[in-house]
Amino acid sequence: MIQKFLYGDPIPTEAVLAELPVCTAELPHLTQIIGKDDLFSFTSALSEEDIVYGLGEAPRGINKRGHIYESFNSDDPYHTEEKRSLYGSHNFIVVSGQTSYGVFVDCGAQVTFDIGYSSYDRLCITPSVKDFTLYIIDGKNAYDIIRQFRTIIGQSYIAPMWAFGFQQSRWSYASADEVRKVVAEYRKNHIPLDAVYLDIDYMEAYKDFTVSEERFPAFKDFAAEMREQDIHLVPIIDAGVKIEEGYSVYEEGKKNGYFCKRQDGTDFTAGVWPGRTHFPDFLNPEARRWFGQKYKVLLDAGIDGFWNDMNEPAMFYTDEGISEAVDYLKKFDFECNDSGKFFELGSRVGGLANRRKDYAAMYHNIGGRMVCHEQVHNLYGYYMTRAAAEAFQELSPDKTILMFSRSSYIGMHRYGGIWTGDNQSWWSHLLLNIKMMPSLNMCGFLYCGADLGGFGANCTRDLLLRWLAFGIFTPLMRNHSAWGTRQQECYAFGDTQAFKSIIDLRYRLIPYLYREYTNACKNNDLLFKPLAFDYPDDTTARHIEDQLLLGSSLMIAPIYEQNAVGRTVYLPESMRCVLFKNAEVSHSEVLPKGWHYITAALDEVPVFIRSGCSLPLCPPAESVARLSTSSLIEIEN
């Protein structure tokens, strides 16, 4: 049962598609209190055994208990445990215990979830505004509640099958020849590959919907040349539009009033990669349609995949921020001997990016009304992706375009997937990636994945191999790394056989993965599930967070610790443990329910087949187009 409660006059988010009546009965499960600044808080007691699921892209474990989270889409590459916000805001939680219930706070502004942080036995949810919609969902258990929630928010975006191939990215492959070299290395080493990403340097001066003639001459021919080798080029699109006289996107946006404004009605300006930019007002349907149509120039060049970036939106600086910092510096007493003042100096100068003050100075045109960005901050990336997806339906009705975004909100799951932003080459981020997948699925995001190998910092061979050994199960399987870091393509660490061993297995698994993924999308189900969802009476399974159920037949138990030669694995029922090496079965054994120690070398991957299930495998191939799905073998349990 789902009940909808309305507070004030919320700005529509279109996260929920189902038309539900507004409930006037008393709010179940939560106590409503009015606190500071007349803001509502909703609290509830948490009992010792309660687990709290949800929140999608958020730090820490599958059970969100013990921490405080702030839904406020943030461009922050250091996803450490104490962080409260990441790039997406997914305000759905499920309290699972003696009584279970779900809560969705539909609100484009910041929402705080104190899940047993201030007090371990208390949940407290506080929207930062007075206008929002609250949904309370009752059901048999957490899984049932999640399925009901997924039903009201509509079916998740289904990516094309080629997007289940392995994808190589880097900031940046800055010329056609560099891309050719990457492809040649993969093909020479017979490591499968389906896509190469074009980061910001493919553009002319970081201007959206342009291609550098100098570095990527005859782009359409180049895209065709790549497609002949079964390679899809996937260019990045950034939210900010460069301010430059004569640049048509800028000129049109300015002329038609499609950019976000300052309070005085002038176009809001902030610095991002191209220097000073304006932000398209994606919340205005006309501006959204205009921006969406811009993708046509790349679709016409043969492109069929995109990633939308910097759409929190990220702001490196504003002129206002710089002048405040400069004024501060001018007045600074350098003779003073107060270390507190020196710390303040550092934060004044170092804190120019993504200032709340700047977000508060930006305005949208929503139905003719000027709305402060702070009220709808979490919707911006969602509506950018919606702009593209709606245009694709019109421009490319017969072909599914790959689309995923950095920033997101529930509702965007119908238009594209997400990648989890700028992580680091840290073992802890491999574990975070594992734990985040089921939470993302709960909130509707099924086509997702992390930057495999880590974006920032220098990756090592062992980390990349272990990360790929998990990444072969995630729908988006993309190796991406930052400018200035060590190269981390699969051929960059000397021998390539171990990498081939793992990625070949991915391709053998695609028939299973793609079937289970599309079924999960169509049936509002999860691709990745915590063990507790299918083994609700097993008290050990209930608390396991580093093993996941994958589709209907498999359980996975990735190795995520440096130097580990294996790991303990809990089987909630008898399962067949299959160890793959060189994408062939090197060991297969039925193990009883209980704890086991499983060893796997860096080039090996263990997979567990559930009782009564089977795993179909196709022969390996170097691209999805070359997969033969007609000759499947089945490994049964």
Q: Which two tokens stand for residue 551?
A: 């589709």
Q: Is 201 left (phi over 0), alpha (psi -120 to 50) or beta?
A: alpha
Residue with tokens 């790039």: 87
Nearer Cβ to ligand GLC (131/178): 178
Helix axes 176-188 and 219-228, enclosed angle (nearest 10): 0
| Minimum gap (Å) between residue 546 Cβ and ligand GLC | 26
Binding mask 265-304 for ligand GLC (x = CB under 6 A): ----------------------------------------
Helix axes 285-293, 248-255, angle to 10 degrees: 160
How far apart are CB 309 and ligand GLC at their closest, in Å?
A: 5
Q: Strands of 270-272's sheet, edge to edge?
A: 241-242, 275-278, 270-272
Residue 485 beta carbon to ligand GLC: minimum distance, rounded to whole angstroms: 11
Dihedral in degrees, nearest 10, Cα atoms 132, 135, 136, 140: -160
Judged on CB neighbours under 10 Å (0-12, 13-18, 19+), 115 is buried
The nearest distance, CB 201 to ligand GLC, in angstroms, is 8
Minimum CB–partner distance for residue 486 and ligand GLC (Å): 15
| Closer residue to ligand GLC (CB): 207 or 500 | 207
End-to-end CA distance of the chain: 37
Per CB under 6 A, the list member of 171, 222, 427, 514 interacting with ligand GLC is: 171
Which residue, 195 or 236, has its beta carbon nearer to ligand GLC? 236
Tell which positions 231-250 bind ligand GLC, by CB under 6 A: 236
User: Is residue 517 a contact point for ligand GLC (CB under 6 A)?
Assistant: no
Rank residues 171 and 493 by Cβ distance to ligand GLC and give the closer one: 171
Nearer to ligand GLC, 137 or 234 (CB): 234
State yes or no: residue 312 binds ligand GLC (CB under 6 A). no
Verify binding: residue 309, ligand GLC, rule CB under 6 A: yes
Smallest distance, Å, CB 353 to ligand GLC? 12
Q: What part of residues 465-504 is at the interface with ligand GLC (CB under 6 A)?
A: 480
- Tell me the two tokens of residue 393: 């339906």
Using alpha carbons only, give the angle 284, 285, 290 rounded to the nearest 5 degrees: 100
Give the per-residue SS3 of 147-162: HHHHHHHCCCCCCCHH
* Cα 509 to Cα 30, 33, 580, distances in angstroms: 44, 51, 11
* CB-nearer residue toward ligand GLC: 273 or 499: 273
Task: Show the 3-state SS of 546-604.
Answer: CCEEECCCEEECCCCCCCCCEEEEEECCCEEEEEEECCEEEEEEEECCEEEEEECCCCE
User: CB-wise, 56 or 421, nearer to ligand GLC?
Assistant: 421
Q: Does 199 bind ligand GLC (CB under 6 A)?
A: yes
Give the C-alpha separation, 167 to 182, whole Å.
Answer: 11
Q: Report the C-alpha gap between 156 and 416 in whole angstroms.
A: 8
Q: In the complex, which residue's CB is closest to ligand GLC?
A: 171
* Closer of 171 and 470 to ligand GLC (Cβ): 171
Nearer to ligand GLC among residue 384 and residue 559 (C-beta):
384
Short-list 176, 258, 273, CA closest to 218: 176
Measured from the CB of residue 313, what is the shortest distance to ligand GLC in angstroms?
Answer: 12
Closer of 174 and 526 to ligand GLC (Cβ): 174
d(CA 516, CA 513) in angstroms, rounded, equals 5
Kindly state the smallest distance separating residue 231's Cβ from ligand GLC, in Å.
19
CB of 271 to ligand GLC, least distance (A): 14
Binding mask 390-409 for ligand GLC (x = CB under 6 A): ----------------x---
Using CB under 6 A as the binding rule, whether residue 154 contacts ligand GLC is answered as no
User: Which listed residue (200, 315, 388, 556) binds ligand GLC by CB under 6 A?
Assistant: 200
Q: Binding ligand GLC by CB under 6 A: which of 422, 489, 546, 622?
A: 422
Nearer CB in complex with ligand GLC: 236/457: 236
Q: Which is nearer to ligand GLC, 236 or 298 (CB)?
A: 236
Hey, which residues does 278 pair with through a beta bridge?
241
**Which string of b and e fits 498-522 if b means at least 16 CB within 10 Å?**
bbbbbbbbbbbbbbbbbebbbebbe
Helix (H) or strand (E) holding 610: strand 604-610
The Cα 132–Cα 375 span in angstroms is 10
**Shortest Cβ 86–ligand GLC spacing (Å):** 12
Beta carbon of residue 64, minimum distance to ligand GLC (angstroms, whole number): 24
Q: Token pair 């138990």 is at which residue?
A: 557
Q: Which is nearer to ligand GLC, 309 or 622 (CB)?
A: 309
CA distance 501 to 503: 6
| E-strand stretches of 256-349 | 270-272, 275-278, 305-309
- Rounded to a whole number of angstroms, the minimum distance from the CB of residue 171 to ligand GLC is 3
How many residues of this chain interact with ligand GLC, rule: CB under 6 A? 9
Parallel, antiparallel, or unpaired: how do β-strands 584-591 and 575-581 relate? antiparallel
How far apart are CB 623 and ligand GLC at their closest, in Å? 24
450 in contact with ligand GLC (CB under 6 A):
no
- 438, HSE (Cβ side, Cα atoms, 13 Å): 33
Nearer to ligand GLC, 154 or 274 (CB): 274
Q: Does 421 sit near ligand GLC (CB under 6 A)?
A: yes
- Residues at the interface with ligand GLC (CB under 6 A): 171, 199-200, 236, 309, 406, 421-422, 480
